Protein backbone atom coordinates (compact mmCIF):
# COMPACT_ATOMS: atom_id res chain seq x y z
CA UNK A 1 0.00 0.00 0.00
CA UNK A 2 2.66 2.52 1.12
CA UNK A 3 1.81 6.25 1.12
CA UNK A 4 -1.89 7.00 1.56
CA UNK A 5 -1.53 10.76 1.96
CA UNK A 6 0.89 13.67 2.36
CA UNK A 7 -0.07 16.50 4.69
CA UNK A 8 1.96 19.70 4.99
CA UNK A 9 1.76 20.94 8.56
CA UNK A 10 4.60 22.77 10.27
CA UNK A 11 3.34 21.64 13.67
CA UNK A 12 4.05 18.04 12.55
CA UNK A 13 2.33 15.68 15.01
CA UNK A 14 -0.53 16.91 17.19
CA UNK A 15 -4.03 15.77 18.09
CA UNK A 16 -5.59 16.52 14.70
CA UNK A 17 -3.03 14.34 12.96
CA UNK A 18 -3.08 11.40 15.35
CA UNK A 19 -6.80 11.30 16.04
CA UNK A 20 -8.48 12.61 12.91
CA UNK A 21 -6.15 12.29 9.94
CA UNK A 22 -4.48 8.96 10.77
CA UNK A 23 -7.90 7.43 11.44
CA UNK A 24 -9.44 8.98 8.31
CA UNK A 25 -6.82 7.34 6.09
CA UNK A 26 -6.43 4.20 8.18
CA UNK A 27 -2.74 5.01 8.55
CA UNK A 28 -0.67 2.66 10.67
CA UNK A 29 2.62 4.54 10.25
CA UNK A 30 3.25 8.28 10.53
CA UNK A 31 6.40 9.70 8.99
CA UNK A 32 7.46 13.24 9.88
CA UNK A 33 9.76 14.47 7.18
CA UNK A 34 12.11 17.42 7.33
CA UNK A 35 15.90 17.42 7.17
CA UNK A 36 16.43 19.67 10.21
CA UNK A 37 13.88 17.87 12.40
CA UNK A 38 15.46 14.51 11.49
CA UNK A 39 18.79 15.77 12.90
CA UNK A 40 17.25 16.96 16.18
CA UNK A 41 17.44 14.23 18.86
CA UNK A 42 14.86 15.95 21.07
CA UNK A 43 12.23 16.12 18.31
CA UNK A 44 13.04 12.54 17.28
CA UNK A 45 12.20 11.51 20.85
CA UNK A 46 9.14 13.75 21.44
CA UNK A 47 7.27 13.40 18.12
CA UNK A 48 6.65 9.64 18.44
CA UNK A 49 5.32 10.21 21.97
CA UNK A 50 2.79 12.70 20.59
CA UNK A 51 1.54 10.05 18.14
CA UNK A 52 -0.39 8.19 20.85
CA UNK A 53 0.74 4.71 19.97
CA UNK A 54 0.80 4.99 16.17
CA UNK A 55 4.13 3.83 14.73
CA UNK A 56 6.09 7.00 14.02
CA UNK A 57 9.34 7.75 12.21
CA UNK A 58 11.18 11.07 11.97
CA UNK A 59 13.19 11.06 8.75
CA UNK A 60 14.92 13.38 6.34
CA UNK A 61 13.32 13.89 2.94
CA UNK A 62 15.82 11.50 1.31
CA UNK A 63 15.33 8.86 4.03
CA UNK A 64 11.55 9.12 3.66
CA UNK A 65 11.72 8.72 -0.12
CA UNK A 66 13.97 5.69 0.29
CA UNK A 67 11.82 4.11 3.01
CA UNK A 68 8.50 4.36 1.15
CA UNK A 69 10.00 2.38 -1.72
CA UNK A 70 11.03 -0.45 0.64
CA UNK A 71 9.38 -3.84 0.90
CA UNK A 72 8.33 -3.07 4.50
CA UNK A 73 6.57 0.15 3.44
CA UNK A 74 4.46 -1.75 0.92
CA UNK A 75 2.82 -3.55 3.87
CA UNK A 76 1.93 -0.26 5.60
CA UNK A 77 -0.49 2.62 5.20
CA UNK A 78 1.78 5.62 5.60
CA UNK A 79 0.67 9.16 6.34
CA UNK A 80 3.55 11.56 5.68
CA UNK A 81 3.57 14.86 7.52
CA UNK A 82 5.91 17.27 5.77
CA UNK A 83 6.96 20.29 7.81
CA UNK A 84 7.20 22.65 4.82
CA UNK A 85 6.08 22.62 1.19
CA UNK A 86 9.70 22.18 0.09
CA UNK A 87 9.76 18.87 1.97
CA UNK A 88 6.66 17.61 0.15
CA UNK A 89 8.01 18.75 -3.22
CA UNK A 90 11.32 16.99 -2.49
CA UNK A 91 9.44 13.75 -1.86
CA UNK A 92 7.47 14.06 -5.09
CA UNK A 93 10.62 14.88 -7.05
CA UNK A 94 12.28 11.80 -5.51
CA UNK A 95 9.53 9.60 -6.92
CA UNK A 96 7.10 9.31 -4.00
CA UNK A 97 3.69 8.78 -5.56
CA UNK A 98 0.50 10.20 -4.10
CA UNK A 99 -2.65 11.67 -5.66
CA UNK A 100 -3.46 14.26 -3.01
CA UNK A 101 -1.43 16.69 -0.93
CA UNK A 102 -3.20 18.62 1.82
CA UNK A 103 -1.93 21.78 3.50
CA UNK A 104 -3.21 21.77 7.05
CA UNK A 105 -1.25 24.45 8.82
CA UNK A 106 1.56 26.79 7.91
CA UNK A 107 2.18 29.29 10.67
CA UNK A 108 4.03 32.51 10.00
CA UNK A 109 7.79 32.01 9.97
CA UNK A 110 9.55 34.88 11.78
CA UNK A 111 11.24 37.26 9.37
CA UNK A 112 8.88 36.53 6.47
CA UNK A 113 5.94 38.50 5.12
CA UNK A 114 3.29 35.93 4.26
CA UNK A 115 -0.34 36.31 3.26
CA UNK A 116 -2.97 34.27 5.06
CA UNK A 117 -4.86 32.28 2.40
CA UNK A 118 -6.89 30.58 5.16
CA UNK A 119 -7.01 31.09 8.89
CA UNK A 120 -4.27 28.51 9.39
CA UNK A 121 -2.23 28.72 6.19
CA UNK A 122 0.22 31.61 5.72
CA UNK A 123 1.98 31.67 2.35
CA UNK A 124 4.98 33.67 1.16
CA UNK A 125 5.45 34.36 -2.56
CA UNK A 126 8.31 31.82 -2.51
CA UNK A 127 6.10 29.13 -0.99
CA UNK A 128 3.36 29.94 -3.52
CA UNK A 129 5.79 28.88 -6.26
CA UNK A 130 6.58 25.65 -4.41
CA UNK A 131 2.86 24.92 -4.09
CA UNK A 132 2.44 25.45 -7.84
CA UNK A 133 5.23 22.95 -8.48
CA UNK A 134 3.53 20.45 -6.14
CA UNK A 135 0.22 20.93 -7.96
CA UNK A 136 1.86 19.87 -11.23
CA UNK A 137 2.80 16.52 -9.67
CA UNK A 138 -0.49 15.54 -7.99
CA UNK A 139 -4.17 15.33 -8.92
CA UNK A 140 -5.28 17.43 -5.97
CA UNK A 141 -3.68 20.12 -3.77
CA UNK A 142 -5.98 21.32 -1.03
CA UNK A 143 -6.12 23.33 2.17
CA UNK A 144 -8.07 21.59 4.91
CA UNK A 145 -7.51 21.83 8.64
CA UNK A 146 -9.72 18.96 9.81
CA UNK A 147 -11.18 15.95 8.04
CA UNK A 148 -14.66 17.32 8.77
CA UNK A 149 -13.91 20.69 7.13
CA UNK A 150 -14.50 21.40 3.46
CA UNK A 151 -11.51 20.97 1.16
CA UNK A 152 -10.44 24.15 -0.61
CA UNK A 153 -8.37 24.21 -3.79
CA UNK A 154 -5.06 25.74 -2.72
CA UNK A 155 -4.23 27.17 -6.15
CA UNK A 156 -7.58 29.00 -6.20
CA UNK A 157 -6.86 30.42 -2.74
CA UNK A 158 -3.41 31.61 -3.88
CA UNK A 159 -4.97 33.24 -6.94
CA UNK A 160 -7.60 35.06 -4.82
CA UNK A 161 -4.85 36.50 -2.63
CA UNK A 162 -2.70 37.59 -5.58
CA UNK A 163 0.04 35.06 -4.96
Give me the catalytic one of 14, 29, 100, 116.
14
Do 142 and 134 form a contact (C-beta atoms < 8 A)?
no
Instruction: Spell out the alpha helix ranges (H) of 54-124.
Output: 61-68, 85-93
Dihedral sign for Cα 114, 18, 151, 65, please: positive
User: How many C-beta neighbours within 10 Å does residue 70 have?
Assistant: 11
User: How many C-beta neighbours within 10 Å does residue 121 have?
Assistant: 26
Catalytic-residue membership of 14: yes
Is 147 exposed, middle or buried, given 0-12, 13-18 or 19+ CB atoms closer than 10 A? Answer: middle
Residues 6+ apart with CB under 8 A from 48: 56, 57, 58
DSSP for residue 86: H
Any idea which residues carry the catalytic annotation? 14
Amino acid sequence: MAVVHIRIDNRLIHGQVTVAWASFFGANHLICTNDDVAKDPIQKMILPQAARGVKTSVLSVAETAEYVKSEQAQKEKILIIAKFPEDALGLLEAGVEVDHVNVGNQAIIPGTKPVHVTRSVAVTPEHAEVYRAIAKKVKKLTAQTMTTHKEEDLLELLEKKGL
